[in-house]
Amino acid sequence: MATQCTARRSEALPRRRCPVAPDRDPDYRAGDMDLRKTVFGLILLLAVLGPQVRGADPFGVRAPNGIVVSPSIHASEAGAQVLRDGGNAADATVATALVLAVTYPLAGNLAGGGFILYRSPDGEHHALDCREVAPAALTAEMFLDEEGRAKPLLSRRGGLAVGVPGSVAGLAELHRKHGKLPWKRLVQPAIEIARKGFPLTRRDAHHLASQNKVLNRHPESGAIFTDDGAPHPAGFRLVQKDLAATLRLLARKGPEGFYRGPVAEGIVQTVRDTGGVMTLQDLADYKPVWREPLVGSYRGYRVVTFPPPSSGGIALLQMLGMLEAHDLAKSGAGASRTIHRMTEIERRVYADRSRWLGDPDFYDVPTAELLDPAYLRLRAADISMDEATPSEKVAPGEPRAVESRQTLHFSVADRDGGAIAMTTTLNGPLGTGMVGEGTGVLLNNEIDDFALAQGVANTWGLLGGEANAVKGNKRPLSSMTPTLLEQQEGGDWKLRMVLGSPGGGKIITSVLQVLLNYVDHDMHAQAAVNAPRFHHQWHPDELMLEPTGFVHDVIQALEKRGHRVTVQRGMFGNVNAIEAAEDGGWIGAPDPRRESRAAGH
C-alpha cells in the first residue's frame, strides 16, 4: 500500500503530488517502507543533535526579498544584512564568503579557491573560476621518490601541497563586474567577527579537536586554534587578530592587499619554509577566469552548471542524460531498483572522469563528445537491472569515437532574481593546517587534487590520469558542482532552484540526488535536501550509504544484485539550496547534516 506523503509543501504552498508507484512493484514497496523510516530517522537525528542542527523547518525558510543559505549562521546573517541594505546577490556572496573565512575555518577561506555560478536578474549565466593554480615551478617529479613512486603525503601536508589561492581574486572580480555596494562595506562584517571573536559550537570544537595534532605541528596554527596545545572547548570565543588585520588590509586595498605586500610575503615565507616552491610572482600573477557555463536539460528543466576544471558539471549532465529515459518516479525514491540504476550510471561516469577531465587550458577536454546523447546511450547500454557490474570490468568510455566537510557551499538569491551558487574549499580539513606567517590565513592543500601518478588515489579515493597531471600554472580537477535549475514559463526561463554541496567525490552525487528528489520524486527543496544519500565512484568498488534512512530489505535487495554495500559512519555533503516559491519570493533549504542556516530579507 502507498505511504502517506511526508514530503509535501506547507499549507501556504500548493501541494505537489506524492511520489507514489504501483503496488505491484516490490522494489517500490521496499522504497516505500524506506521513506517512512527515513523520516523517522531524520527526526531522530534532529532530536539527538538538538540545537546544533539549524534549518530543521520541514518546509524550509521563507523570505520574499532575498535569502542566503550557508553552513554558518554568522555568514548567512551577514549576507542577508547586505541584501537588506540594498545589496544584490554578488554583494551578499562577497560578505558571506569572507565571514565564512572567519567562522568556518574547516573550509571557509581566503587562501583557497572555488567556483562561482552567477545568474543575473535578466537571466544571463556566468561562471567564474577562482580555483587555485599550481605554482609555476611545481613539477610532477617533486612528488616522486628516487624509484619513481608517488609520495602522496607531499601533496597533502607541507609547502608543496599549497596551490596559489584564488578565492580573494574571485570575490573581487565578482564585485567589480556585478556588485553594487562599496567593497569596504562588504569586508566589514568579517573584520568585526575576527576582531571580537565568536563562540565555538560543539561541532566547531569537535572539528578543530579532530585536527589538533596537525594544528600543533605549526606554531602559528597552534597559537590560534589550540589552547597551549589542547583543543578549544565548545563555547570558547575564538578571536583571530592576525586575520582581522589581513581583512582590514583587504578592505583598504582590495585584492592587492592580499596578493602583494606583507600578506603575500607571509604566505610565501611559510610555503617555502616547509618545502614549497611558491613565489611572490606566483601570487601577483594569479587571475580568475570567466568561463562559459554548461547548459543541459532534464525532463523539461534547464540545468546550468560549471564547466571544467570542474568535473562536477559534466558528470552531473552525463548522469541526468543516462537517467532521463527511465521512469524514476515509478520505481520510487529509496527503492532498490532506483538506487541500483543510479549506482550503475555513477560507476560509469566516474570512470570517464578519471581519464577525460582536467584543466581545459592545458588539456583538450572532449566536453561535447562526453555529453552527446548517442555516447550516453552507448555508455548505459550494458547496464543490467538484475546484477551489478564489477568496477574492474568498467573502463573509461571512448567519447572521441562517437569522456567534505573540507569544502563548503552556499547559495544566494536577491529580490531582483539574481542568484549565485558558490562552492569553495581548502581541500583537506583546514587545508595543510598551516597559517601564513603573521596573516592568520589558513593555507590550502589543493595540489592533492592533481593525479600524482596513474593508479594513485587522492584524499577522496578518486583516480586520475594524464588529463589531470601536475604542471605549473595548471588548475587541478575538482568535483565542485554549483548548479542552477530553471523552468520555462510564458516564454522565459524562471529560476527554480540554486544548489551545490561540499564532500569531495560525493559532491556530484549529492547534487544529483537532491535534483532528482525535486524533479522526479516531487519533493519540495527542504525534503529533497533532507532525504538520505548514497554514493558510488567506480573505485573503490563499494556502494556507500549514509547511516540513517536505508532499511534492511533495501540493502538486502542491493546485495542480492551484487553490490558491495557499506553503511558509512558520517553523512554525505551539505546541500544548502534555495527554491523559488510558487507564489513569489524564496525558500531556503539548509542541510540538517551540519549547522547550516538560512537568513532572509
Residue 177 has pLDDT above 50, yes or no: yes
Cα–Cα distance between 69 and 575 in angstroms, integer?
9
Q: Following DSSP, what letter does each residue of 44-71 receive, concatenated?
A: HHHHHHGGG-----TT-EEETTEEEEES
Centre a 10 Å sphere on the Cβ of residue 9 and count the other Cβ atoms it contains: 22
Query: pLDDT band at residue 594, thresholds of 50, 70 and 90?
Result: confident
Which amino acid is located at 312 in the chain?
G
Cα–Cα distance between 117 and 128 in angstroms, integer?
6
SS3 480: coil
Catalytic residue (choose from 103, 407, 424, 459): 407
Query: pLDDT band at residue 465, thresholds of 50, 70 and 90?
Result: low
Residue 407 annotated as catalytic: yes
Kindly state the DSSP code that residue 363 receives in the 8-state scheme.
S
At 312 the pLDDT is 86
Averaged pLDDT, 319-348:
93
Q: Phi first, then psi: give them for residue 35, nearest 5 degrees.
A: -60, -45
HSE-CB at 86 with a 13 A cutoff on CA atoms is 4
% pLDDT > 70, the chain:
87
Averaged pLDDT, 459-482:
74
Averaged pLDDT, 95-124:
95
- The H helix count followed by the E strand count for the chain is 20, 21
Give the pLDDT confidence of 214-225 residue by residue, as tens digits. 999 999 999 999
In three state form, how does the secondary structure of 497-523 look? EEECCCCCCHHHHHHHHHHHHHHCCCC
At 286 the pLDDT is 98
Give the pLDDT confidence of 75-96 residue by residue, as tens digits. 999 999 999 999 999 999 999 9
Q: What mean pLDDT value characterizes the chain?
A: 85
Query: pLDDT band at residue 506, thresholds of 50, 70 and 90?
Result: confident
Crossing angle for the helix pair 241-253 and 89-103, to the nearest 10 degrees: 160
Cα–Cα distance between 78 and 72 in angstroms, integer?
10
Averaged pLDDT, 302-310:
93
Kindly state the DSSP code that residue 190 receives in the 8-state scheme.
H
At 13 the pLDDT is 40
User: Quick check: 545 and 555 in contact, CB under 8 A?
Assistant: yes
At 54 the pLDDT is 38
Q: Looking at 105-114, 342-351, 394-403, 537-546, which range is the least confident one? A: 394-403
- Max mean pLDDT among 147-156, 277-286, 477-486 falls in 277-286
Residue 49 has pLDDT above 50, yes or no: no
Residue 405 has pLDDT above 80, yes or no: no
Centre a 10 Å sphere on the Cβ of residue 473 and count the other Cβ atoms it contains: 17
Residue owning grid cell 538520505: 532
Contacts of 529-532 with CB under 8 Å at 24 or more apart are: 529/575, 529/576, 529/577, 529/589, 529/590, 529/591, 529/592, 530/42, 530/58, 530/591, 530/592, 531/7, 531/38, 531/333, 531/334, 532/38, 532/41, 532/334
Averaged pLDDT, 165-173:
98
Give the pLDDT confidence of 239-254 residue by residue, as tens digits. 999 999 999 999 999 9
In three state form, how does the secondary structure of 283-346 look? HHHCCCEEECCEEEEECCEEEEECCCCECHHHHHHHHHHHHCCCCHHHHCCCCHHHHHHHHHHH
At 112 the pLDDT is 95
At 320 the pLDDT is 96
At 8 the pLDDT is 34
Neighbour-count burial of 492, counting CB atoms closer than 10 A to its CB (0-12 exposed, 13-18 middle, 19+ buried)? exposed
Residue 355 has pLDDT above 90, yes or no: no
pTM of the model: 0.87
Helices marked H in 146-298 — which ranges? 167-178, 183-196, 202-210, 212-215, 219-225, 241-253, 256-259, 262-273, 280-285
Strand partners, 422: 116, 410
Q: Phi first, then psi: give them for residue 144, nearest 5 degrees.
A: -115, 150
Query: pLDDT band at residue 42, thresholds of 50, 70 and 90?
Result: very low
Residue 149 has pLDDT above 90, yes or no: no
Give the pLDDT confidence of 562-571 residue by residue, as tens digits. 999 999 988 8
Averaged pLDDT, 303-322:
92
The helix (run of H) or strand (run of E) holding residue 556 is helix 552-560
Averaged pLDDT, 460-474:
68
Averaged pLDDT, 583-592:
92
Kindly state the DSSP code that residue 465 receives in the 8-state scheme.
-
Residue owning grid cell 588515489: 457
Give the pLDDT confidence of 366-390 residue by residue, as tens digits. 899 999 999 999 888 888 888 888 8
